[in-house]
A = this chain, B = another copy of it.
Amino acid sequence: MRLSLIRSATSAVSRGKFARLTSSDLSFFEKTIGNEYVKTKEIDNYTMDWTRQMKGGSECVLLPSSTEQTSAIIKYCADKKIAVVVQGGNTGLVGGATPIHDEIILSTSRIKNHFHLEPSSGVLTLDSGFILADADNRLAEHGFMMPLDLGAKGSCQIGGCVAAGAGGIRLLKYGSLHSHLLGCTMVDGKGSILNLGGTLRKDNTSLHAAHLAIGSEGQLGVVTRVTMGVVPRPTSILSAMLAVSSYSHCLRLLSLARSKLGEILSSFELIDGDTMKCVERNLPLKNIFEGSHNFYVLVETHGSNADHDIEKLNGFVEEALGNELAEDGVAANSENERAHIWRLREESPLAAAKDGYIYKFDVSLPLEHFYRLTEETREKLKGRARVYCYGHLGDGNSHLNVTTDGEDEELKKTLSPFVYNWVVSHGGSISAEHGIGQLKRDYRSLGKSAAEGDLIRALKGVFDPHGILCPYKMIPSTQ
């Protein structure tokens, strides 16, 4: 993958007035969590993000195994004014968990002891270091499922999912993490242990402050434990792909899917024609249809009765073809066919990454503007760059990708401001699910009011009065 150098697109950030790490600090950490969990060598996998484009100058990684150890570390750092960046599975896409200067890295990877499912209520409490796929596999034994699913599931951690406000491919049916989070344990920037919310589906005895953890990017505290509702594992999962001639037909298909598939509709994904050609060109993967089409829509259902679900899906596909909303349609008849359909969608990012220098976007837009951004970007960059669009149409989340053969200095400077201003002026969000981190910090105030800015800085000040947690990112320092 040849990502254009991200740092060069982001303004330089000067180091805050934090203390420099000393050997007596390291001694304290070693005494607190054990020598082997204070790493100072071979730490590139922590100091660099996983795309290996962002790198901080940290000299130390701490791997506590509990809330209490985390609290002791943060208390010490608050006292000494040592900056800390919190890292889960290091799968983020905006450098939120990657240090910028010499922040010490606190990894939650070893905080994974407690895992308790209450089967009668479907309430799960687990430590933040559990990997999403591992947690889901354990739930499968009891007929439950993690409501969220995303490409990074094999590496991302639950705490990181909460801190990132992870969305994913079945938000359409199951909702965001706000739908599921019941409580969490956070160690705030003073080292205090906050037990917020609880294990109950209904509890109106306090502010619902646990929800502030969602999307907080480690800037309010270290999430060490999460309690959430999990969902019954569907006994029937069906997938289909439709070939579509126009974006307006895609929207009408979405509406038809809502009415015909109702409560079992779990994904409604879009791949545009150029992206599909890019997949075929750059990957050993064939389109499932003969000939090319302008758009492809992937529909998935999750249900509890296969006969009913098949009847609903067939009814949807038949009406889509009968009304000529779709030009062609394929329902997956085997797990292999289902995997093939999903690979076309899930490997679209990979195909784009192999296509040249890449500029990646993750935006939300009102559906009437969703595809116009792609069209206008394509028009603007005609002959200069290739433009791909794929994403979660059902949620209004477009992953726009632009690729060029060689580096294009002007594009590096102008593309993000163009896209982000277009998005905000059309009522969209410049970050649907990836967050702000360091990659989008220059644009964090775009479209936001001064009053909101004051509010989030004040909230940051409550949780982290010394500003030591994940500095230089989404929320400006209060120091």
The residues of A with any CB-CB pair to B shorter than 8 Å are: 118-122, 143, 164-165, 167, 171, 175-176, 178-179, 181, 188, 192-196, 198-209, 211-212, 214-216, 220, 232, 234-235, 251, 254-255, 258-264, 302-305, 308, 311-312, 364-368, 392, 395-397, 427-436, 440, 444, 448-449, 451-452, 454-456, 458-459, 461-463, 474-475
Contacts and interface: CB of A to CB of B under 8 A. Distances in A.
Which 3 residue pairs are nearest across A and B when measured between Cβ atoms?
A262-B304, A211-B211, A179-B179
A366 B451 CA distance: 41
B433 A204 contact: yes
A330 to B, nearest CB: 23
Contacts of A234: 262
Contact of A205 (B214, B235, B429): B429
Given A200-B364, A263-B304, A208 B211 contact: yes
B118 A366 contact: yes
B427 A397 contact: no
Contact of A196 (B440, B444, B452): B452
Given A212-B212, A308-B308, A205 B262 contact: no
Contacts of A308: 305, 308, 311-312
Contacts of A395: 201-202
B364 A202 contact: yes
| Interface core residue of A396, A435, A436, A463 (most chain B CB under 10 Å) | A396
B436 A205 contact: yes
23 contacts: A118-B366, A118-B367, A165-B208, A167-B204, A171-B201, A178-B178, A178-B181, A195-B449, A198-B429, A200-B366, A202-B395, A203-B364, A204-B431, A205-B430, A206-B215, A206-B448, A207-B212, A207-B474, A211-B212, A234-B262, A263-B303, A305-B312, A455-B462
A434 B204 CA distance: 7
Contact of A206 (B311, B428, B462, B474): B474
Contacts of A368: 120
A427 B199 contact: yes
Nearest to A120: B367
Given A206-B456, A212-B209, A255-B120, A192 B451 contact: yes
Contact of A212 (B199, B208, B448): B208
Nearest to A458: B462
A397 to B, nearest CB: 5
Contacts of A209: 212, 452, 455-456, 459
Contacts of A259: 143, 232, 304
A194 B444 contact: no
Given A121-B366, A254-B120, A452-B195, A433 B175 contact: no
Given A206-B456, A207-B456, A212-B207, A396 B462 contact: no
A428 B200 CA distance: 7
Contacts of A435: 204-205
A383 to B, nearest CB: 32
Nearest to A198: B429
A125 to B, nearest CB: 11
Contacts of A428: 200
A177 to B, nearest CB: 9
B208 A178 contact: yes
Contacts of A211: 178, 208, 211-212, 214
B263 A366 contact: no
Nearest to A315: B305
